[in-house]
Amino acid sequence: MAIQRAASNDLDKRPNNTMKTIDKALFLLGFFSLDTPEYRLSDLARAANVDKATAMRILGSLSIGGLIEQHPETKKYRLGTAVLHLARLREASFPVVSVIQPILDALTLEVGESTHACLFAGSAMTTIAIAEPQRPTRVYINPAEALPLHATASGLAYLAHVPEAMQKNLIKRIDFKTHAKGTVRNKAELMDKLEETRLNGLAVSWRSFEDEVTGIAAPIFDWHGKVQATLSATCISNRLTDKALLGTKVAVLKASQKATQAMGGASPVQTHVATREQR
């Protein structure tokens, strides 16, 4: 997922009705996904709850910049080639994926579970790299799916290590939507989870985003000691024995430290892995 959607689908009901053109453009771009890579003008306008004239004007501006293009036959709109250009520039100047992918591959081979790396975007975590195990039953990670800060191990690992002012601002924006039976439901629960995450150096999220899935995530730091990404193992909960849980936690933490070093970063904290975790 490239851009996180705003909480509301109504452009005209955003706070103070003062959205700028760029906000509207980014809002519309957020509707394009792997599930819906193309839109007719009327369908996109309907999804965004905006009139067709406004949608057409925004799409026209995006088309000029190459961020959006229109299929010559179907007339549907899709992401343009400028997106690829920007992605290549981003990876060339800050090669996250090429550095982290081999680390994910090794981690998946070690723990036998799906693994992935995330960056923060907008108000949620965005998956940038995935590794899957060679086994018939595994967790499928949708790269286009936004991962909520309060409901995923990736989100908790990131939120626990951002500066205090930024953390407070992000927490104010969380709606605490319940995704599964283990989802954090309020600020008090969230603060306890963040403190636990800071203590252990990683986050464990039992059945919080999907009922049969447990996430184990650790932060990746930059050269200033600031969290820049997260690395996670996404596991089938029922096969996480105490031994498997501890082994996976140790492996994730080591992999995140390796990723931090590979990115030229340094961890600002001393961490340990708890040997027991309440389910």
**Residue 6 domain flag:** no
Looking at the DSSP bridge assignments, the partners of residue 68 are: 79
Name the band, by pLDDT with cuts 50, 70 and 90, for residue 194.
very high
Residues 61 and 110 in one domain: no
Residues 72 and 107 in one domain: no
**Residue 271 domain flag:** no
Residues 104 and 229 in one domain: yes
**Residue 145 domain flag:** yes
Q: What is the pLDDT of residues 51-82, one digit of tens each?
A: 999 999 999 888 888 889 988 889 999 988 87
Q: What is the pLDDT of residues 108-120, one digit of tens each?
A: 999 999 999 999 9
pLDDT of 34 > 80? The answer is: no
**Residue 107 domain flag:** yes
Structure-token pair, residue 120: 């923060």
**Residue 47 domain flag:** yes
Name the band, by pLDDT with cuts 50, 70 and 90, for residue 253.
very high
Domain end marker among 54, 86, 118: 86
Residues 64 and 127 in one domain: no
Q: Which of 83-92, 129-138, 175-184, 192-201 has the lowest mean pLDDT?
A: 83-92
User: Which whole number is the average pLDDT over 188-202?
Assistant: 96
pLDDT of 258 > 60? The answer is: yes
pLDDT computed for residue 95 by the predictor: 61
CB 176 within 8 A of CB 126: no
**Residue 198 domain flag:** yes
Residues 123 and 253 in one domain: yes
Domain extent for 26? 11-86
User: Which whole number is the average pLDDT over 234-244?
Assistant: 95
Residues 101 and 228 in one domain: yes
Using alpha carbons only, give the angle 224, 149, 187 rounded to the nearest 5 degrees: 105
Residues 107 and 186 in one domain: yes
113-116, long-range: CB < 8 A, 24+ apart: 113/138, 113/139, 113/233, 113/234, 113/235, 113/236, 113/248, 114/138, 114/139, 114/140, 114/141, 114/233, 114/234, 114/235, 115/231, 115/232, 115/233, 115/234, 115/255, 116/141, 116/154, 116/231, 116/232, 116/234
Mean pLDDT value across the chain: 86
Number of domains, the chain: 2
Residues 75 and 185 in one domain: no
pLDDT computed for residue 20 by the predictor: 67
Looking at the DSSP bridge assignments, the partners of residue 38 are: 78
User: Which whole number is the average pLDDT over 254-279?
Assistant: 73
**Residue 178 domain flag:** yes
Residues 69 and 106 in one domain: no
Domain end marker among 52, 86, 120: 86
Domain end marker among 86, 108, 132: 86
Residues 134 and 44 in one domain: no
Tell me the CATH number at 45: 1.10.10.10
pLDDT computed for residue 5 by the predictor: 38
Q: How far apart are CA 170 and CA 110, in angstroms?
A: 34
CB 205 within 8 A of CB 152: yes
User: Which whole number is the average pLDDT over 17-38?
Assistant: 75
Residues 36 and 156 in one domain: no
pTM over 0.85: no
Residues 114 and 32 in one domain: no
Tell me the CATH number at 108: 3.30.450.40
**Residue 273 domain flag:** no
Question: Looking at residue 186, what DSSP letter applies?
Answer: S
pLDDT of 177 > 80? The answer is: yes
